[in-house]
């Protein structure tokens, strides 16, 4: 019964929350394109990667599983940036797929660059109600016997400042209310806007050790206050070990390794601290990324920001 209860809870969360905020990743500091279009091109070279997240992987059927694939690069004399962000999110009976295009105009400012970005995304949702009656002796006809699909468009904006030693960004990834699960399909509004403030620094603790803390604050006037606080230690510019705290949700551990050729591979484990810990162990993520080499530019620090 408890397992069934949490499965239904997942479905209800999907039906009410999708499209009102971005998917959360414990590796959020490594792909800011998810939250801020002004991040596009900030690595000064072509940067690409993928993140797979499996939430509540033990104990709850239909738990969220998310795949994020991204790529971004500068162009036109490094004054512009462009990026693409693909997300496939499966939760309960529903699956949402989004394709986002991001553009940033980058202005040199001191040792860093200030970028102003815009993004547009197309989103499609599919609710397979036939699965609601799977495994029961007497089907409930109220769920329906087919799948429902719908699609919509959204847009967002952001500003982002990057420096060899720190970064700071502010963004609104979605301007419009998502109409996936509302009766009035044509109704749009801004009352579900979530504002993202994110920043991080990197400082030298010793010859071979660097400190890399990050903070992301998510503010929505119609939702509880939320944030992630992260701290990492980077050894020999290669091995990164970190910890993250997600407010009233989880305590997380991260491990990332940077190879000399630009490849980096990471894994994260989330340990649930909310009431869901009675039914699930937590979540995990796997990340693979590649920062393409550049013979005539200096990217030693920029690969982190």
Model confidence at 185, pLDDT cuts 50, 70, 90, reads very low
SS3 content of the chain, % helix, strand, coil (to 5): 10, 50, 35
Taking the model in full, what pTM does it have? 0.85
Closest to 287 in 3D by CA, of 261, 259, 260, 257: 257
Q: Which has more pLDDT, 148 or 108? A: 108
- pLDDT tens per residue, range 225-270: 899 999 999 999 999 999 999 999 999 999 999 998 899 999 999 9
Residue 270 sits at φ, ψ, to 5 deg, of: -105, 130
- Smallest Cα–Cα separation from 99: which of 75, 127, 121? 121
DSSP H helices, the chain, are: 2-17
Q: Which of 51-55, 66-70, 121-125, 184-188 has the lowest mean pLDDT?
A: 184-188
Cβ atoms within 10 A of the Cβ of 205, count?
Answer: 10
Q: Could you tell me which of 245, 240, 252, 254 has the C-alpha nearest to residue 283?
A: 252
252 or 153: which carries more pLDDT confidence?
A: 252
Q: Measured between alpha carbons, how far is 173 from 188 in angstroms, rounded to an integer?
A: 15
pLDDT digits (tens, 9 = 90+) for 18-34: 434 678 899 999 989 99
pLDDT of residue 54 exceeding 60: yes
Mean pLDDT for 139-163 is: 79
Q: What is the mean pLDDT of the chain?
A: 83
CA neighbor of 249 nearest in space, from 272, 265, 233: 272
Place of tokens 């989330």: 270
1 CA to centre of own chain: 32
* CATH level 3 topology of 2-291: Porin (2.40.160)
| Strand partners for 201 | 166
Residue 17 has pLDDT above 90, yes or no: no
């Amino acid at each position: 019964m408890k397992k069934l209860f949490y499965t239904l809870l997942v479905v209800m969360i999907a039906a009410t929350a999708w499209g009102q905020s971005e998917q959360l990743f414990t590796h959020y500091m490594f792909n800011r394109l998810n939250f801020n279009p002004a991040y596009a091109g900030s690595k000064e070279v072509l940067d690409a990667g993928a993140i797979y997240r499996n939430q509540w992987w033990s104990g709850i059927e239909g738990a969220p599983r998310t795949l994020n694939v991204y790529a971004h690069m500068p162009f036109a004399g490094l004054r512009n940036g462009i990026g693409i962000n693909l997300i496939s999110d499966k939760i309960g009976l529903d699956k949402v797929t989004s394709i986002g295009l991001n553009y940033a105009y980058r202005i040199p400012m001191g040792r860093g660059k200030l970028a102003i970005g815009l993004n547009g995304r197309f989103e499609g949702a599919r609710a397979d109600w036939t699965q609601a009656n799977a495994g029961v002796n007497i089907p409930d006809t109220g769920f329906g016997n087919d799948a429902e699909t719908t699609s919509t468009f959204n847009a967002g904006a952001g500003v982002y400042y990057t420096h060899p030693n720190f970064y700071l960004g502010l963004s609104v990834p979605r301007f419009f209310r998502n109409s996936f699960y509302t009766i009035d399909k044509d109704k749009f509004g801004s009352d579900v806007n979530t504002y993202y403030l994110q920043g991080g620094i990197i400082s030298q603790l010793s010859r071979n050790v660097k400190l890399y803390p990050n903070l992301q604050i998510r503010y929505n006037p119609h939702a509880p206050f939320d944030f992630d606080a992260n701290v990492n230690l980077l050894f020999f510019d290669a091995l990164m070990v970190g910890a993250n705290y997600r407010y009233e949700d989880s305590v997380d551990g991260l491990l990332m390794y940077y190879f000399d050729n630009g490849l980096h591979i990471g894994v994260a484990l989330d340990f649930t601290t909310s009431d869901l810990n009675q039914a699930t162990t937590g979540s995990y993520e796997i990340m693979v990324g590649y920062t393409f080499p550049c013979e005539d530019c200096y990217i030693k620090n920029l690969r982190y920001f």
